[in-house]
Structure 1
Amino acid sequence: MPLFLDLHEMPDGVTAEHVAQMHQADLEIEHKYNCRGLTYWCDEKRQRAFCLIEAPNKKALKDLHSHAHGDIPLRIIEVDETIVESFLGRIEDPEKSQNTELNIINDPAFRVLMVLETSNYLNRLEANQFTIFAQKFHNNVSKTLKKFNGRIVKKDNNSYLASFKSVSDAVLCALKIKFQFKYVTPKFDPSTRKLNIALSSGVPVTNKDNIFEETITLATRMCDVVKEQLVITSEVKLLYESENRNAAIDDKMIKILQPNEEKFLNQLIDYVEQAWNKPNFNVNDFSRALGLSKSQLYRKLTKLTGQSPNSFLKEFRLNKALNLLHEQYGNISEIAFETGFNSAAYFSKCFLDKYGILPSKYIQQHIA
């Protein structure tokens, strides 16, 4: 049976005890709607509650809530129980609240998410050296995440997605990983060993279709686009300072993305993801779509990414092309035109300039 996570806004005056009573009312009649309430999260501070319920469909879940207490959820998304547990730490009631007369859980679902990316599959020296680097790197990151109570949601050879309940844990973990990174493989050329970390925060259910989608999307964009090695949102900064009695974050070590920069970043990527593979797409289209003059676009983009609009677009296309090559999407000419380059020869030149290897040679070494 499908599993759903829903969002309820708590009106002023509604407490964790009230939410517990509503949850109890759900449990008493859930069998009538073929539903099973697994647990819930309540956040008095942010006035939000989230219910995790097995149900035949969204309508059955709404009918259950409507008849039990009348509070219809604002939003419902379908979820996977393993993913829920990875982000939120549980898919059932906490032990301390089980077998109590009224199951009061004042446990927020708000999380700080870390996206961490290191050198991609292209940046290998020799296979055995890459293996040594990967082992050391992953051992180091895994130990550090565990030390700071981070939960690994997803990882591969080059990236991590991790979840934290504590903002302080998330920030201190990111700083520790950044500090230790240069000691993981000191013999290698630093230019081939890059690390980017981003922290953003939010709740699991928004107007998007997937759990924590808004928070993940922002953190991933920050990690991919912002030129600094470690970047956090202004919300994470404020929460960190609140948790630590206004202890200021050192902006020389951490880039703090301001709200206007966050808005620009999302507008930028939203648009580029729609238009990046059109061969005639140019800077004029770019600036017009974002409602900026060419000079404003240049200034904002170089401050955020360290790149001009033309360079940013070219690199965006090359990253897409690299992924397509790795996935064996097509031959070099097909991928060149698919990613917005006018000719295979020009694509190969740009690829060589960025990655230090021709796409044909890359295929031989990494794919064939």
Structure 2
Amino acid sequence: MPLFLDLHDLPEGITAQHVAEMHQADLDIEHKYNCRGLTYWCDEKIKTAFCLIEAPNKQALIDLHQNAHGAIPTSIIEVNDTIVESFLGRIEDPEKSKNISLNIINNQAFRALMVVKLKHKTLRAKDINTVKAAIRGYSVSISNLASQYNGRIVEQTVSRFLISFVSVTDAIQCGIKIQESYHSVIIPDLECKIGISAGIPVSEKDSIFEDTIKTSDYLSDIAKGDFSITAKVNDLFEGENQNKPIHEKNGITVLNSQNEEFLMQLMEYTETIWSHTSLTVNDFQKNLGYSKSKLYRTMMNLIGKSPNTFLKEYRLNEALKLLEEQNCNISEVAYQTGFSSPAYFSKCFHKKYGILPSTFVYHN
């Protein structure tokens, strides 16, 4: 049976006890709607509650809430139990609460999400195996540090980590230690970039934490600097630490809301159009509403790259993924990633990575 996570915006005056009473009311009549309530999260501070319920469909869940207590969810998404547990730490009511008459859970679902990306600076044939070994070793260090700072690894690949934290302070401190670990040893031709944002699991989007994950991904992918966070994360850190600011020596870049919005718009547009060979910087100007000079200044300040360089490197990064999968030949990759010809693609690839794509494919 499908599993759903829903969002309830709590009116002023509604407490964790009220939410517990509504949860119990759901449990009392859930059999009438072929539903099974697993657990819930309640955050009195930001006035939100989230219910995790097995149901035949969304309408059955709505009918259950409507007839149990009248509180209709603001949003509902379908989820996977393993993913929910990875982000939020549980999929059932806490054991320690089961032996009391009313299961009051004042336990937030708000999370700080960190994305760590390990990227090749070059791909010189003589260094490829050395870099791969370095990535394997560094990945172990990242996993250990995540555990040390109470982080839960939600997703992990060879070059990307998605880690969930209840505490923003833990997320920041873990990120600092990951960067320190990276800088403490010489890792040839490898860079480590970190992005942290924070939010709730259910929004108007279809997937759990979709907006928050995207923001962390974008920060770790293209934001200037090795460690970037949103203004919200910065404010939450100060709130958890008696208004003590993040020390500048940690090398953390804080994006203001305007820059964060620009970054989201830039990436969302780029993701829909990047493979079109006819795409030019003029298209970015038109769709983002920036003049040529303002777009250039904004991107150099925020990303450290001109619009042309940004687009070219974005395409090269996508091309690298295709070459690693080895499902296409070099000419196919060139055209699929928006380059005008295989020869021009090979020239750009060599300039960025230090080897020809044919050499990379041979050694991969």
TM normalised by structure 2 equals 0.96
Deviates more, 1:263-272 or 1:249-258: 249-258
Name the structure 2 match of 1:307. Answer: 305
Name the structure 2 match of 1:232. Answer: 229
Q: Confirm or deny: 8 A CA contact 1:336 1:344 kept in the other structure.
A: yes
Name the structure 2 match of 1:275. Answer: 273
SS in structure 1 of the partner of residue 164 of structure 2: strand
CA distance in 2, matches of 1:120, 1:67: 56
Name the structure 2 match of 1:110. Answer: 110
Name the structure 2 match of 1:11. Answer: 11
Give the letter for the 1:31 counterpart.
H
Q: Confirm or deny: 8 A CA contact 2:136 2:158 kept in the other structure.
A: no
Q: Confirm or deny: 8 A CA contact 2:121 2:190 kept in the other structure.
A: no
Matched residues, number? 362
SS in structure 2 of the partner of residue 210 of structure 1: coil
Counting only pairs closer than 5 Å after superposition, residues 1-368 of structure 1 correspond to structure 2 as 1-120=1-120, 123=123, 125=126, 129-130=130-131, 132-183=133-184, 185-186=185-186, 188-189=187-188, 192-252=189-249, 253-366=251-364
Report deviation, 1:251.
3.5
SS in structure 2 of the partner of residue 106 of structure 1: coil
CA distance in 2, matches of 1:312, 1:121: 15
CA distance in 2, matches of 1:74, 1:346: 50
CA distance in 2, matches of 1:164, 1:99: 28
Report deviation, 1:276.
1.1
Unaligned runs of 5+ in 2: none
CA shift in 2, pair 1:62/1:293, >3 Å: same
Q: Confirm or deny: 8 A CA contact 1:329 1:335 kept in the other structure.
A: no
Q: Deviations over 1:191-231 (max 9, x none)?
A: x1210011000000001111111000010011101120000
Report deviation, 1:99.
2.0
User: What RMSD in Å do the two structures reach over aligned CA positions?
Assistant: 1.5
Percent of paired sites with the same residue: 54
Unaligned runs of 5+ in 1: none
TM normalised by structure 1 equals 0.95
Report deviation, 1:129.
3.2
CA distance in 1, matches of 2:238, 2:95: 31
CA shift in 2, pair 1:134/1:330, >3 Å: closer
SS in structure 1 of the partner of residue 56 of structure 2: coil
Report deviation, 1:48.
0.4
